[in-house]
Structure formats: structure tokens, C-alpha cells
Chain A
Amino acid sequence: MDNQRQAIMQRLNRVFQEVFDDEELQITTTTTAKDIEEWDSVEHISLVIAIEKEFTIRMNAAEVGKMQNVGGIVDWLMAHQGG
């Protein structure tokens, strides 16, 4: 379980770096939009699209809206990827 979580975090980190165009960016489970200046309502959708593409998964409207922090995203990915 920890290995899977770690693997997801690594992939998610790459997604964040790509979306926000910052190779130095390092996310943690507590990272929220307040920690990343470019993470606003518009870039939130870019992030959703990138996550869906990376993990070949689809989020519904409620899940897109409620995505608040990285920890929540990881938990959701683990739950929807059979983790």
C-alpha cells in the first residue's frame, strides 16, 4: 500500500511540475492551492485534465469541484485504481 501511494505521489508530482511549468516543484500530501500561486480555478481544470490523462481515469463534476489538496487526490486515485 505504501509503495503504491509513493508511486502515485511521484507520478502526481510530475503532473504538477508539468501543469505549473516548474521542475523544482515538490508536492506533499498537505499541498493545497494556497501553496501554489498558479493553482487557481482555471489551472485547476488543467490539473484535472492532466491527472485524468496520466492515470487514465475520469472525475465527475463533484469530484473535480471538491479536489482541495494533494492528499485527497492521492486517496481518490488509490480508491479508483483498485488500491
Chain B
Amino acid sequence: MEFHSPTFFIFFLVSMVLYHWRSGIAQRENILLMANAVFVGSFASSFWSVVPLLGFVLLGYGFIHWIRVVPRQSLMLSLIGVLVVLFLYLKNYFNLDGLPTPPFAFLLIGLSYILFRILHLIIDWQSGALSGGISLRSYLNYIFFFLNFVSGPIQRYQDFKEQLHGPGLVGITRDEVFAALSRIINGFFKVYYLSVLFLEVHQNNWLFAQVIRVDFLTLIRDCSLGIASYTIYMYFNFSGYMDIVLGFGRLLGFKLPENFNDPFWADNFLDLWSRWHITLSEWFKFYFFNPLLKMLKLWITSKALGPYLGVFCFFFTFLVLGIWHGSGMIFVLEGLLLGGGASVNKLYQLQIKKWLHKATYNRLKQSLSYRYLCRGMTFSYASIVLICLYLNPEQLERLRSLGVIMGVTFLSGSYLVMTVAIVLVMWALDQVMGWPVIRYGNARIMQSVVVGHLWLSIKLVALISALILLEHAAAPQFIYQGF
């Protein structure tokens, strides 16, 4: 069941009415469980196709009860190990011919996010961050919550439970309903218009779709446009999907966590990951980076080495994050590039503070031109790393061949061109937004209810037009559904 389908709208409407109609917690949980079962079941081709997924989830439930009874760290690590290995096996990370596999196609959608939720429960229960029990119904509702089942956001159980047992309909006002609907429309506008626009630019310029030898400057131009437009497409696709999910969530009485915060305004690569797919970054920070760094710092107590332990942990954390995206060497490459970017960023921050006086460094960080340059470099590097997500083996071979023929200068050239382009765009935007008429007009527009409604109506009309036009064409897919 896709979020943009009429079936989903009817399903959501019925679920929302039933959910808010019943005020008892147990009744609401039952309704949510049925809604979750219907939604997840819509992806299944047969009963057997959900058996491995259900088995994985029920195994997780058993492990949670085990760790509650025996909250030993050694047991926790063993249980995590078993779940991770099972996850890798189901997702075919090992890619070994001899391994037995179920003799039928099985559902894997949402498995990555399910793993994160189960691990969070196990770790928090072992450490005492969670107490009391969890019924099978509550557990299944948390794991299979239809709004964030496919692609997040990753919500902590504590927050989910508080909202599930929260005010429900009482907390929903007319203004909030309007805000939720605005957000949903905004999300569809981003997915159906903006992301499609940039995907088209990418597909028209992505050189590796063609086997044509071109001159160096054309190669740089096409490469830069192709790479940059994919990043922007991905942002609008993913953040648009998140707007839709969060909007629907609010109508149901759930305040799901935000996943994006102006990522293109990130001042460096590490800052980017506090603004892009925020809940995934936070999960890795809470449950991977922090414990790993703490363990190393307790073991290696040298204060001088402390910051460099951080560099290592950043590298390792982002390496794992990259590999999480999928099986195959291309995702190992992605992990290495992510880890490399994060660790070099941290090393730079450590070294520049030694080279420059503190006051000089602070002045440099406040300088607009330095910030534009950092943002440009961050965007360009992130865009190059993202290549790993859409290169197929044939294109990877072409890239390698091009690398052999042209050297790595074409990627370096693209990096430079993208960086300069971003610097110029950011500078131009700041100049325009600083004009008095724009500042005044912007302030009036932001306060004007009429303009807000008018703009929303325009987006709604544009959206309906797109839906009509796309009726016989393929609707844009939500890209993170594949991870």
C-alpha cells in the first residue's frame, strides 16, 4: 500500500476515525494493531512471505524478555550479535551460494528499521533506561507502526508509548489539523514536483547512462549536474516523504521526530549528519558512537590521545552506517567514503585549532566566505558519496574505466565545479534575502494568513494536476523504501 494511493487515503481515514472514536487505551491499541496488520499485510504476496519477518520480530520479543530477567551486559551483546547476524543473513549480505534460504520470496521491507527498534529496546532494558513490562500488543504496535514502518523516522519506544497513551483526539485542534494537512500537501508537492524535476535533470546529465566519449569540460559539466541534481532529488524525495508521514502522524495524535533540518546549510560534514536523516544519526550516536568512544576512553586514558580516539570512532561509525545501506562492495566503498569524510573533518577541526589562535579560528568560522566555502565543500563531497547509492555494477565498471582513461581529475573537477556553484548560489541567496524589499515582503508574507492559504491552494492544485498527469505513468517512488 503506497502512501500516495487512494487505498491508503481510505485506509488512513478509517483508521483515524476509529482510533479517535475509541477513548480507551486498550481499544486504541487494538485498532492500531489491526491497522498495522492491514498495512504491513498489503506488502505481502502470501502468508509465508511474512513468516521470516514475523519470526525475526518475535525472536526480538523473546530476547527483550530474556534481558529483562537477566540484565547482564554479556548476554545483551550475545543477543545483539545473534540479531545482527540474522539480519545480515536475511538481507543476503553474506552472498554465499551454499547458505540455505527459504524456498519462497519473503518480505524484507522495513527490516533495517525494525532491527534498530529491537536493538534500542534490548539496550535500554538492559541498562535500566526502560522499566516495567511490554505486552506483545504494545511491542508489535511499536515495531510495525504503519506510519514509520517503511522508512522511519526512528522513534524511541518511550516517546511512542507516551503518545499512544496520550490525549489522542483531545490534543488535536483546528489549527493543528490545518498544519498537518499543510505538511502533507507540502510533502506531496516535494515528492511529485520538486524531486521529479531534479531526477529528470540527473537522468539527462548522468554521463554514465551513455557510452559516448566526450571532451573533458563537457564531462565535468555533465558529471557535476548529474551528481548535484541527484542529491537534491534525494532530499526532496526523502524529506517530502517525511513531511507526509509526520503530517499523517499528527492527525493520528502522534508527534513523530523530525528527520531533516536544512541539511544544505550544514557548515561541515559532521554537521550535515545532524541535519540529514537525523533519527538515524541519533540512533548511531546513542547506541554505537558514544558506547564505543566511552569504552576506548576508559581503556586508553591518555588525554592527548582522547580526541584521536574520537576520529577513529567517527570513521568506524560512518563505515558501519555506509555498509547498513546494502550488501555488496559498493556499500563498503560508501562506508569508507563516509568514514573518511567524517574522520578527516574531525582531524581538520583538531589541527586548525592548533595552527590558529582560538580568537582567529572563531573569527574565521564567523566569516561568510569561509562558511560558504565549507558548505560548498560539504555538499559536493556528500553528493559524490551518494553516487554509491545509485551506481549499478555496469556503471561502476564504466566509472572505473573512465577513471583509468581520464584519471581522477574528472571527479575532482566535478567536486570543484559543484563547490564553486554552491558558494555562488549561497552568496546570491544571502544578497537577495538581504534586500530591504525582500526582507519586508518576506516578513509580511510569513505573517499573512491569506497568503499562506493562497500558497497552499496553489500547491494543492499543482498536486492534483500532477496526480492526473501521472495516472497512467509511474508515480515517483520513495527512495529510502529500498534500505
B310 contacts A49, C-beta separation under 8 Å: no
Please tell me which stretch of A9-17, A24-32, A38-46, A70-78 contacts chain B, meaning at least 4 of its Cβ atoms lie within 8 angstroms of it.
A38-46
- Which one of B1-9, B35-43, B85-93, B293-301 is at the interface? B293-301
Give the complex CA separation of A34 and B346 in angstroms: 18
Contacts of B482 in A (CB 8 A): none
Query: What chain A residues lie within 8 Å of B293 (beta carbons)?
Result: 42, 45
Contact residues in A for B306 (Cβ distance below 8 Å): 42, 46
- Does B163 count as interface, using CB distance less than 8 angstroms? no
Q: Which of A26-83 contact B (CB under 8 A)?
A: 37, 41-42, 44-46, 48-49, 60-65
Cα–Cα distance between A9 and B117 once the two chains are bound (Å): 36
Give the residues in chain B near A44, CB-CB below 8 Å: 290
B286 touches A61 (CB 8 A): yes
Query: Of all chain B residues, which has the CB nearest A48?
Result: B294
Contacts of B56 in A (CB 8 A): none
Task: Tell me, in angstroms, the Cα distance from A62 to B129 when the chains sit together.
Answer: 7
Please give the number of chain A residues whose Cβ is less than 8 angstroms from any Cβ of chain B in the complex: 14
Q: B128 near A: Cβ within 8 Å? A: yes
Contacts of A62 on B, CB cut-off 8 Å? Answer: 124, 127, 129, 156, 158, 286
The yes or no answer to B307 lying at the interface (CB within 8 A) is: yes
A63 to B158, CA, bound (A): 13
The answer for the CA separation of A63 and B156 in the assembled complex, in Å, is 13
Shortest beta-carbon distance from A56 to chain B in Å:
15
- Chain A residues contacting B156 (CB-CB under 8 Å) are 62
Cβ-based interface call for B123 (8 A): yes
In the complex the two chains form, is B286's CB within 8 Å of A64's CB?
A: yes
Question: Which residues in B have their C-beta under 8 angstroms from that of A45?
Answer: 290, 293-294, 297, 310
Among B124, B287, B310, the residue within 8 A (CB) of A42 is: B310
CB distance from A16 to the nearest CB of B (A): 15
Judge if B285 is at the interface, Cβ distance under 8 Å: yes
Complex Cα–Cα for A52 and B346 (A): 26
Contact B297 A61 (CB under 8 A): no
Cα–Cα distance between A62 and B286 once the two chains are bound (Å)? 6
CB-contact partner of B287 in A46, A49, A61, under 8 A: A61
The answer to whether B290 and A64 have CB atoms under 8 Å apart is yes
Selected contact of A65 from candidates B286, B307, B362, CB within 8 Å:
B286
Known: A41-B285, A49-B297. A65 touches B290 (CB 8 A): yes
Quick check: A46 and B124 within 8 Å, CB to CB? no
Asked if B294 and A60 sit within 8 Å, CB to CB, the answer is no
State how many angstroms separate the Cβ of A17 from the closest Cβ of chain B: 14
Q: Is B291 an interface residue (CB 8 A)?
A: yes
Q: Which of B128, B282, B294 contacts A64 (CB 8 A)?
A: B294
Q: Which residue on A lies nearest to B349, using beta carbons? A: A40
Q: Give residues 289-323 of B contacting A (CB, 8 Å).
A: 289-291, 293-294, 297-298, 306-307, 309-310, 313
Query: Are A60 and B124 neighbours in the complex by a CB distance under 8 Å?
Result: yes
Minimum CB–CB distance from A38 to chain B (whole Å) comes to 9
B221 CB to nearest chain A CB (Å): 38
Residues of chain A within 8 A (CB-CB) of B158 are: 62
Across-interface contacts of A63 in B (CB, < 8 A): 129
- B300 vs chain A, min Cβ distance (A): 12
Contact between B289 and A61 (Cβ–Cβ < 8 Å)?
no
Determine the chain A residues whose CB is within 8 A of the CB of B128 once the complex forms: 60
A47 to chain B minimum Cβ distance, whole angstroms, is 11
Chain B residue nearest in CB terms to A63: B129
Q: Given A41-B310, A62-B124 in contact, is the A49-B294 Cβ separation under 8 Å? A: yes
Q: Give the chain A neighbours of B129 by CB distance below 8 A.
A: 60-63
CB neighbours (8 Å) of B282 from chain A are 65
Q: Write the chain A residue with the least CB distance to B126.
A: A60
User: Residue B298 contacts which of A41, A42, A49 (CB distance < 8 angstroms)?
Assistant: A49
CA distance A73 to B149 in the complex (A): 33
Closest residue of B by beta carbon distance from A49: B297
Find A61's partner among B290, B310, B346 (CB 8 Å cutoff): B290
Cα of A62 to Cα of B291 in the assembled complex, Å: 10
For B287, what are the chain A residues with a Cβ–Cβ distance below 8 Å?
Answer: 61
- Cβ of B290: which chain A residues have Cβ within 8 Å of it? 41, 44-45, 48, 61, 64-65
C-alpha gap A27/B297 in the complex (Å): 24
Distance A40 CA – B293 CA, assembled complex (angstroms): 13
Determine which residue in A42, A48, A62, A63 has the highest number of CB atoms from chain B within 10 A of its CB, and name it: A42
Q: How far is the CB of B348 from chain A (nearest CB, A)?
A: 13
Q: How far apart sit A21 and B307, CA to CA, in the bound complex (Å)?
A: 14
Instruction: Write the chain A residue with the least CB distance to B287.
Output: A61
Instruction: Provide 24 A-B residue pairs closer than 8 Å at the C-beta atoms, listed in order of the A residue.
Output: A37-B362, A41-B289, A41-B290, A41-B310, A42-B307, A42-B346, A45-B293, A45-B294, A45-B310, A48-B290, A49-B297, A49-B298, A60-B124, A60-B127, A61-B123, A61-B124, A61-B127, A61-B286, A62-B124, A62-B127, A62-B129, A64-B286, A64-B294, A65-B290
What are the 6 closest A-B residue pairs judged by CB atoms, nearest first?
A42-B310, A60-B127, A65-B286, A62-B129, A60-B129, A45-B293
Residues of B in contact with A (beta carbons under 8 Å apart): 123-124, 127-129, 156, 158, 270, 282, 285-287, 289-291, 293-294, 297-298, 306-307, 309-310, 313, 346, 358, 362
Other 18 A-B pairs with CB < 8 A, given A45-B293, A48-B290, A65-B286: A37-B362, A41-B285, A41-B310, A42-B293, A42-B306, A42-B310, A42-B313, A45-B294, A45-B310, A60-B127, A60-B129, A61-B124, A61-B129, A61-B291, A62-B129, A64-B290, A65-B282, A65-B290
